[in-house]
Amino acid sequence: MQSLIAGNWKMFKTVREAELFARRLVAELDIPPGREVVIAPAFPALCAVAAALRGSAIKLAAQNVHDQAQGAFTGEVSAGMLIDAGCEYVIIGHSERRTFPGETDDLIGRKLLAALAQGLRPILCIGETLAEREQGATFTVITGQIKEGLKNVALGDIGDAVIAYEPVWAIGTGKTATPEQAQEVHAFIRNTIEDAYGKELAGKLRIIYGGSVNSGNIGKLMSEKDINGALVGGASLDIESFSAIVKY
């Protein structure tokens, strides 16, 4: 199984800054065998970054997608548009989308279906808040998010998805789940997938960790059995730190 290291740039970098960063990343990053690297710039920079990545092993992702193929949805972007812009992946259900616009599990599930229908590989983000963890509701929340996010996905399409466990309390806070805490939830996610879809598929599904990942903690996180990569936020905005994470 290839490890997946995905950089989520959020609302940072102008088009020019994103293009220059991507060109430098292509020139300087020597990707170790068995690792897949993806970067997710903001919508306006997708085409420029796609051009900068052309011919390299680094893949392009979008940070969001609409659940409809087209229509009168001002400010939204469809899966087909993302494919046309050069994307291979799309992040769906990030905690910031769940929190600020208030995206529901049902909407996130529809977005995931829309992505798969166009050949985009979804990175489905799930995770509990601090209050939910303190209440002992972590596994209940995770189970609900998985079941709702994947409920209408055909069995043959499940393997095209990636699940990113990102405890909300660890995103942008500097706090990180310990490797043991992360492994516990990742193992639970894999067991949940196994119960629903079988052992073979569960064994092949990539489950990655997101939440204040940096060059100092990536090695210990990746040493855990069920952690297959990382969804990197702030540390992906710097060439040196992101390269160090890729080369963990």
Catalytic residue annotation: 94, 166
CB atoms under 10 Å from CB of 186, counted, come to: 22
Burial 165-180 (b: 16+ CB within 10 A, else e): bbbbbbbeeeebbebe
Give the gyration radius of the chain's Cα atoms: 17
3-state secondary structure of 175: coil
Specify whether the backbone of 160 is left (phi greater than 0), alpha (psi in -120 to 50) or beta: alpha
3-class SS letters over 54-89: CCCCCEEEECCCCCCCCCCCCCCCCHHHHHHHCCCE
> Quick one: DSSP state of residue 213?
-
What is the C-alpha separation between 60 and 5, in angstroms, rounded? 12
Specify whether the backbone of 119 is left (phi greater than 0), alpha (psi in -120 to 50) or beta: left
Q: Which of 100, 107, 217 is nearest to 168 (CA)?
A: 100
Strands (E), the chain: 3-8, 35-40, 59-62, 89-92, 121-126, 162-165, 206-210, 229-232
What is the C-alpha separation between 57 and 166, in angstroms, rounded? 25
